[in-house]
Amino acid sequence: MAQQAVEKVGVEKHNLARTGRMALYGGAVFGPAATTWFKFLQQKINFQNTNVTIAARVLTDQTVFASTNLFCFLSSMAIMEGTSPKDKLDSAYWTALQKNWMLWPAVQAVNFKLVPLEHRVLVVNIVSLGWNCYLSYINSKGK
């Protein structure tokens, strides 16, 4: 999506390896990790006040999972590309994490408040269509 909708590289210049790396990460790492993470939050972070529970889940999600997932994403992309994970993290991590915090806390607050546990990864996957375009773009910058 990022290559065609955002960067408009055209079909003839489409980088299939880049698409494959994104699909591999999403299917083998993010999907299972997010499913497990949402179950953990549902079971372990509960307070008497629903709004406090939601705020605590969002805070935990954004400080623990988002930062760790972004680190793993950028590092694994660099490894699969044969480049330096340190260089990738130095150039992209902080900017991407700041952008993450502009989008995901609101998404997750609504997700945790209104969406049943079994559908939360689906909501994240829908929003991730756009977010992953950004991640793919920022990951490929400078190549």
pLDDT at residue 117 in the model: 94
| Range scoring the smallest mean pLDDT among 12-26, 28-42, 58-72, 105-119 | 12-26
> Percent of the chain scored above 90 by pLDDT?
66
Q: Number of helices (H) and strands (E) in the chain: give both, helices first.
A: 6, 0
Report the C-alpha gap between 18 and 20 in whole angstroms. 5
| Range scoring the smallest mean pLDDT among 25-29, 52-56, 60-64 | 25-29
CA-based nearest residue to 114, from 54, 37, 46: 54
pLDDT at residue 15 in the model: 66
* pTM as predicted: 0.82
Q: Which amino acid is at 122?
A: L
Tracing tokens 């994490």 back to the chain, one arrives at 97
In degrees, to the nearest 5, what angle opens at C-alpha 111 toward C-alphas 110 and 112? Answer: 95
